[in-house]
Amino acid sequence: MDMRFANRFNGKVALLTGSAAANPDELMGFGGATVWRFFEEGGRGVVITDIQDEIGERSAQQLRDSGHDAIYMHLDVTEEEEWTNVVAATMKHFGRLDILVNIAGILDPKSILDIEPAVWKKTMEISTVGVFLGTRAVARAMDQSGGGAIINLASMAAKQGSGSYGSAYSYSRGGMLNFSMSAALQLSGMGIRVNTIMPGWIHTPFTDYLYTDPEQSKFRTDRVPLGRWGKPEDIAGGILFIASDDASYITGAELLMDGGVSAGSVRPPNPKGDE
Ligand SMILES: NC(=O)c1ccc[n+]([C@@H]2O[C@H](COP(=O)([O-])OP(=O)(O)OC[C@H]3O[C@@H](n4cnc5c(N)ncnc54)[C@H](O)[C@@H]3O)[C@@H](O)[C@H]2O)c1
């Protein structure tokens, strides 16, 4: 690893939602790629949380087997009481909390006309209400720890409409950008920075069904100027940059990490260009 980064997170404690997939022998999510690198860079401890308890417990055990102080806790981000319990347990175990990464999310898989309203509402709730509850739950603990960083994982879809499905996904991710700005303003006095990351197409458990479908996969690869799907490690690099003191003057901001997709369309060479 680059030794400049070796101690960036010395003594720091991070809490991550939707982060059960953190076993390096399997396909990892954003949370998984983030926690392993966080420890490489000196991190003191992590609290992995999710609603997939078996997978999360196994991931935390694997981190502990590698000598890292990691605990897993059940956290449905839409449940306020569960947030209260998780933050209290974090403070009891580690005595501090420096970083919150809001990763939990689902996708509404049908069009506006066909989607079941309950699924649409749940999609909205997880990335809007969930982030609101999380922000409230951690703020005082971070204040007691001398400040902190909250990183909200939205999507490049936050600034676009979704074609055949995913209207609640795009809508709620756009809302996440706006909420992050309010939180950045309201928590600045506590030394808490709040920022959003907008990933493009990244191969994780969330997108595995698309990545492994040759037609779906090629459709996306063809639209990425950098010519490939992203890896969870690509996004972990951004999460940890924003979480670190390297980003000490960044708050209320958005970081787009989509391989260039949002910059415009990739087109074949102009046939007249060779003349
Ligand atoms: N992978 C991509 O291409 C991509 C791109 C842009 C944004 N995102 C977003 O990033 C986030 C991370 O996903 P990932 O790619 O690491 O995949 P992932 O599937 O590993 O992570 C998402 C996790 O959210 C959890 N979850 C679902 N509902 C929950 C709830 N109510 N409470 C708590 N946890 C819940 C799931 O169990 C899952 O483990 C998601 O919100 C996704 O929408 C992903």
Residue nearest to atom 32 of ligand 1 (CA): 76
Q: What is the mean pLDDT of residues 64-86?
A: 98
Judge if pTM exceeds 0.95: yes
**Residue 172 is assigned to a structural domain of this protein:** yes
* Nearest atom in ligand 1 to 56's CA: 39
Local confidence band at 268 (pLDDT 50, 70, 90 cut-offs):
confident
Number of domains in the chain: 1
pLDDT exceeds cutoff 70 at 256 = yes
In DSSP terms, 16 is beta-bridged to: 48, 101
What pLDDT does residue 4 have? 62
pLDDT exceeds cutoff 70 at 34 = yes
Q: What is the mean pLDDT of residues 255-271?
A: 90
What pLDDT does residue 60 have? 98
Q: Residues 182-201: pLDDT tens digits?
A: 999 999 999 999 999 999 99
Q: How far apart are CA 106 and CA 108, in angstroms?
A: 7
Residue nearest to atom 35 of ligand 1 (CA): 104
CA atoms within 13 A on the CB side of 196: 27
What pLDDT does residue 269 have? 81
Measured between alpha carbons, how far apart are the two ends of the chain, in Å?
Answer: 47
Residue 10's domain is classified under what CATH number? 3.40.50.720
Average per-residue pLDDT for the chain: 96
**Residue 267 is assigned to a structural domain of this protein:** no
* Nearest atom in ligand 1 to 19's CA: 39
Q: For the chain, what percentages of helix, strand and coil (3-state, to nearest 5) are there?
A: 50, 15, 35
* Nearest atom in ligand 1 to 76's CA: 32
The structure tokens 């958005």 sit at 254
**Residue 220 is assigned to a structural domain of this protein:** yes
Residues with active-site annotation: 169
What pLDDT does residue 31 have? 98
**Residue 274 is assigned to a structural domain of this protein:** no
More confident residue, 4 or 56: 56
Local confidence band at 274 (pLDDT 50, 70, 90 cut-offs):
low
**Residue 102 is assigned to a structural domain of this protein:** yes
pLDDT exceeds cutoff 90 at 105 = yes
What pLDDT does residue 75 have? 99
pLDDT exceeds cutoff 60 at 275 = no
> Which range marks the domain in which residue 186 is found?
3-256
Local confidence band at 5 (pLDDT 50, 70, 90 cut-offs):
low
What is the amino acid identity at position 210?
Answer: L
pLDDT exceeds cutoff 70 at 21 = yes
Q: Residues 154-179: pLDDT tens digits?
A: 999 999 999 999 999 999 999 999 99
What pLDDT does residue 1 have? 61
Q: What is the 3-state secondary structure (H, E, C) of 242-259?
A: HHCHHHCCCCCCEEEECC
Q: What is the mean pLDDT of residues 246-251?
A: 98
Q: Residues 198-219: pLDDT tens digits?
A: 999 999 999 999 999 999 999 9
15 Cβ partners below 8 Å, 6+ apart?
Answer: 46, 47, 49, 86, 87, 90, 97, 99, 100, 101, 138
Residue nearest to atom 25 of ligand 1 (CA): 18
Local confidence band at 266 (pLDDT 50, 70, 90 cut-offs):
confident
Instruction: Tell me the best of 53, 103, 132, 254 to mutate to test the pocket of ligand 1, counting ligand atoms within 8 Å of each CB and taking the most.
Output: 103
Instruction: Tell me the best of 15, 19, 27, 30 to mutate to test the pocket of ligand 1, counting ligand atoms within 8 Å of each CB and taking the most.
Output: 30
Distance 94 CA to ligand 1 centre (A): 25
Local confidence band at 2 (pLDDT 50, 70, 90 cut-offs):
low
* Nearest atom in ligand 1 to 20's CA: 39
What pLDDT does residue 61 have? 98
**Residue 262 is assigned to a structural domain of this protein:** no
**Residue 100 is assigned to a structural domain of this protein:** yes
Report residues whose beta carbon is within 6 angstroms of any ligand 1 atom: 17-18, 20-21, 29-31, 50-52, 75-78, 103-106, 126, 153, 155, 199, 201-202, 204-207
Q: How far apart are CA 154 and CA 172, in angstroms?
A: 8
**Residue 247 is assigned to a structural domain of this protein:** yes
